Structure 1
Amino acid sequence: MAVGALAGALALAGCGGGNDAGTSAGGAGAAAGGAGSTGAVAVKNVDGVGMALVDSAGKTLYFTDQDTAGSIKCTAACLGFWFPASGNGVAGGAVAGLSTVHRPDNGQDQLTFEGKPLYTFKLDTGPGQHEGQNAQDSFGGTTFTWHAATTSAAAPTTTEAPPANTGGGYGY
């Protein structure tokens, strides 16, 4: 239910801010009061998500299915909610798959994990929050699905019951 409310709030906000002609991609996040995350990346257990990448402030790092290192689609109004992660340090040892990509829209470098550009989320106001997990929103005609960047260090935790076995006892 919270994800649905979040998606509705983002859709309304996205509709209101999507027509700002002349807003630079880099200025959208700054104007919204949020700068992109900077500094070292660490792996922390984020309750309800599992072992996730976090920035130096402990904020969860996210990726979207629609972005790839070669095609960044979160630009303009999208950057008012999703702030590109920057920096090059890794806290507490190496994180396999961490790199950077040069953003074509504003010329800045952005951290990537396994080729996916990383972001922090405006509604995550402190460490350990994950309001952007599985969020969906739409900017510039593109619908985005967001996920916390998790590692294989531990399986994500969940409170949902496993699906009922409807295979008739045949092991399917």
Structure 2
Amino acid sequence: MRRLVIAPLVVAAFAPVLVGVACADTTPPPPTTTPSPVPFTVLVTDTDTQGRVFTDPNGQVLYRYAGDNVAVGTFGCVAACLKTHPPLLTTPGTPLRMPPGVAGTLSATLRPDGVGDQVTLNGAPLYTFTGDQPGDTNGVAPDWHAAQALPAPPSPAPPTR
């Protein structure tokens, strides 16, 4: 009979500890969030010879190549050409953003040569030139053009009453 009395007392003495353990085990972990990628933004600079042009985040002037035709899936700048005109690449899924007040659309296209996702401006792939320092336009040639930064059209005025 004594055992029956002691057993409930022992359980009662450890009940708060057992309840605390049970509560700790049932508390859900805090939700984990994946940080959203930082948007990739091209910049704009004024040059002496080409006017207002786009640059990469490091200030390197961006170029378009006349030999590219993304609409039909061909890139004219491949292999050795990429050594002097590296493509402006982005990571898949990174949001692309134009600077404020500038017209155009940034997107990315997967190069068929496997180099990566190349940033495009209004569908034209963008490149830098290895012979440039930030702000230089030494890469301009008959088939290479600095990517011009045109002002965005003014927003329509709100209707008046």
Assess if the C-alpha contact under 8 Å between 2:53 and 2:146 holds in 1: yes
The reply to whether residue 121 of structure 1 matches residue 109 of structure 2 is: no
Structure 1 residue runs of 4 or more that deviate by more than 4 Å after TM superposition = none
Letter in 1 for 2:80: A
Assess if the C-alpha contact under 8 Å between 1:63 and 1:149 holds in 2: yes
Q: TM (normalized to structure 2)?
A: 0.59
SS class of match (1:79) = helix
Q: CA RMSD of the aligned region, Å? A: 2.1
Assess if the C-alpha contact under 8 Å between 1:64 and 1:147 holds in 2: yes
Ranges in structure 2 where 5+ consecutive residues have no aligned partner? 1-39, 153-161
Assess if the C-alpha contact under 8 Å between 1:86 and 1:110 holds in 2: yes
Ranges in structure 1 where 5+ consecutive residues have no aligned partner? 1-38, 137-144, 155-172
* Structure 2 Cα separation of the partners of residues 56 and 151 of structure 1: 15
The structure having more radius of gyration, on CA atoms, is: 2
1:54-112 per-position Cα deviation (integer Å, ceiling 9, x unaligned): 00010100011110222112111111101000235436437522111110001510001
SS class of match (2:139) = coil
Assess if the C-alpha contact under 8 Å between 2:119 and 2:126 holds in 1: yes
The aligned counterpart of 2:145 is 147
SS class of match (2:128) = strand
Q: Where do 1:1-172 residues align within 5 Å?
A: 39-69=40-70, 70-87=73-90, 88-90=95-97, 92-93=99-100, 96-106=104-114, 108-124=116-132, 126-133=133-140, 135-136=141-142, 145-153=143-151
Q: TM (normalized to structure 1)?
A: 0.56
CA shift, 1:151, in A, is 2.3
Q: Percent identity?
A: 38
Letter in 2 for 1:49: Q
